[in-house]
Amino acid sequence: QKEVEQNSGPLSVPEGAIASLNCTYSDRGSQSFFWYRQYSGKSPELIMSIYSNGDKEDGRFTAQLNKASQYVSLLIRDSQPSDSATYLCAVPSSGTYKYIFGTGTRLKVLA
């Protein structure tokens, strides 16, 4: 069973701090990785995708990928109360059309 694991949290950070969210995956054949944000009672929305080892930056968000360690992370700089949500890591299962989701990390940004 291919798995995606995340710390469920909650992760609490003060406003303006850096929030660091982590995800590990078991499928060594996975080639792409996605971070979704889900506000309470809403559907998930894509915020970052990453395909190559290293860092990818988009505004206040940075995704980091280390395929050798099977680890992907999301950094949120200058965290805002509006960033308070659950962040889901999604990893497509190699050789299939299926996206496998982690359980999500609940982030709380304290004003």
Partner 1 sequence: NAGVTQTPKFRILKIGQSMTLQCAQDMNHNYMYWYRQDPGMGLKLIYYSVGAGITDKGEVPNGYNVSRSTTEDFPLRLELAAPSQTSVYFCASNLDGANTGELFFGEGSRLTVL
Residues that bind partner 1 (CB under 8 A): 4, 6, 8, 31-32, 34, 36, 42-46, 49, 88, 90, 92-93, 96-104
Residue placing its CB nearer to partner 1 in the complex, 5 or 17: 5
Residue placing its CB nearer to partner 1 in the complex, 13 or 100: 100
Residue 33: CB minimum distance to partner 1, A: 10
Residue 13: CB minimum distance to partner 1, A: 20
What b/e sequence results for 47-65 when a residue is b if at least 16 CB atoms lie within 10 Å of its CB, and e otherwise?
bbebeeeeeeeeeebbbbb
Exposed, middle or buried by CB within 10 Å (0-12, 13-18, 19+), for 14? exposed
**Phi first, then psi: what are they for 6, rounded to 5°?**
-140, 150
Residue placing its CB nearer to partner 1 in the complex, 82 or 97: 97
